[in-house]
Amino acid sequence: MENSGLPEDYYLHDTTGSRIEVWPGTYRLNLTKPYVAEYQARFAYQTIVDSGLLVDGCFFDNFFTTQSGLKADIYGRKVQLDANEDGLPDDPAWLDAEWSKGVYLELNTWRKLMPNALASGHLPRPRSRSSPTSSTAKHRLHDLDVIEGQDPFSSLWDTYKAGSR
């Protein structure tokens, strides 16, 4: 879900104005900006449509609802995040609140475009028992219970389907 070739203001920058490289050649987008979150949702939607609907959903990589913990780029170079572009390090509470809004805006916008599609995500560590797969993006699934062998997959599937209605 990280894109390239976008306008510069779509990217997350540090206090020096540099993009944050999170994978070789891949730069983190600034989800504190609603238009970036909405762009990402439309991009995911269009990618699925362009496939001829050959896939039944989307995997939202890096479904992290906070960002203040990002202290270094992919190469270990220290970064100070500046999502609001004022040249100063962001207040962690502000950054995490705005980032979370952007992540859920992305998912909820996509869900409106594809109400019946499957959604999954690469969740943060430590893992949370919350999952972004329901139409409200707040539905609690028991994915860890299934992974840990405490519940059968069918219970997870039934819960997912019930929450997507």
User: Same domain, yes or no, for 137 and 109?
Assistant: no
Q: What would the two tokens of residue 12 be?
A: 């997350």
CB atoms within 10 A of CB 50: 9
Q: At what angle do helices 92-113 and 34-50 cross, to 10 degrees?
A: 30
User: Same domain, yes or no, for 102 and 129?
Assistant: no
Q: What would the two tokens of residue 98 be?
A: 């705005």
Local confidence pLDDT in tens for the 165 residues of the chain: 567 889 999 999 999 999 999 989 999 999 999 999 999 999 999 999 999 988 888 888 777 889 999 999 999 999 999 999 999 999 999 999 999 999 999 999 999 999 999 888 766 544 444 444 443 333 344 565 667 677 787 877 777 677 654
User: Same domain, yes or no, for 136 and 155?
Assistant: yes
User: Same domain, yes or no, for 86 and 42?
Assistant: yes
**pLDDT at residue number 134:** 41
CB 156 within 8 A of CB 143: yes
Q: Domains in the chain: how many in total?
A: 2
User: Same domain, yes or no, for 50 and 81?
Assistant: yes
Instruction: Kindly state whether residue 40 falls inside one of the protein's structural domains.
Output: yes
**pLDDT at residue number 123:** 61
Q: What is the pTM of this model?
A: 0.75
Instruction: Kindly state whether residue 61 falls inside one of the protein's structural domains.
Output: no
Q: What is the DSSP string of 19-80?
A: B-EEETTEE-B-TTSHHHHHHHHHHHHHHHHHTTS-SSEEEETT--S--TT--B-TT--B--
Instruction: Kindly state whether residue 60 falls inside one of the protein's structural domains.
Output: no
Q: What residue numbers bound the domain in which 144 lies? A: 125-165
**pLDDT at residue number 122:** 67
